[in-house]
A = this chain, B = another copy of it.
């Protein structure tokens, strides 16, 4: 296989016969969703005998004819049917022993999904949403990858308008606060939370109210246009 590479430099030639291409490169996805006031992650039953019965992240080898950053979009689309999703690269994991089947280095991404808009086109009944606090161990080093991505998500939500990718287009401030509380896993003070969000100037007052509630409805807001991607998802600024 390595012979089919079009290598030109002395360095690459010299190295190729030393089995340098025995390293495979994959992407792994921490797919976050939000439902029932909980942050969830989409997991699949591992198909490796070493990890039978355990769950793992969705992932795949990177193809030679796609950009690294395109691979996670392809995986998402092909494995879940979800398109137009917010994705961010987090870290690359490459310990020697991390994959039992061989040398695989993996670049981890996190995705943010509005579960209510992106229905799972389940290609297997082994795909399930798991509440983040219920995930105790995962196959491979995927728990480490999950923790790393969760930390990155937590550190970004007050800096950039990314949490909105977990929500529908219209939401009340209560709903927004609940999303933040689910991500951070702490209770927030309502007045202080609203003050902080107001300062960011991310929100558009839609002049609409919640409905079908058995109590006083809240105002509805949307993310300002300048922070949205096509089809209403948020830019990775």
Q: Contact between A9 and B101 (Cβ–Cβ < 8 Å)?
A: yes
Flag the segment in A16-24, A126-134, A169-177, A208-216 that touches B: A16-24
Copies of this chain: 2
- Chain A's interface size range is 35 or more
Q: Contact between B92 and A67 (Cβ–Cβ < 8 Å)?
A: no
Determine which of B15, B22, B93 lies in contact with A21 in the assembled complex, contact meaning CB atoms within 8 Å: B22
Determine which of B64, B67, B102 lies in contact with A22 in the assembled complex, contact meaning CB atoms within 8 Å: B64
26 contacts between A and B (CB under 8 A): A1-B1, A5-B24, A5-B103, A7-B101, A7-B102, A9-B101, A12-B24, A12-B61, A12-B101, A12-B102, A19-B64, A20-B62, A20-B64, A21-B23, A21-B24, A22-B64, A23-B25, A23-B62, A62-B105, A67-B95, A68-B92, A68-B94, A69-B95, A89-B92, A92-B92, A92-B107
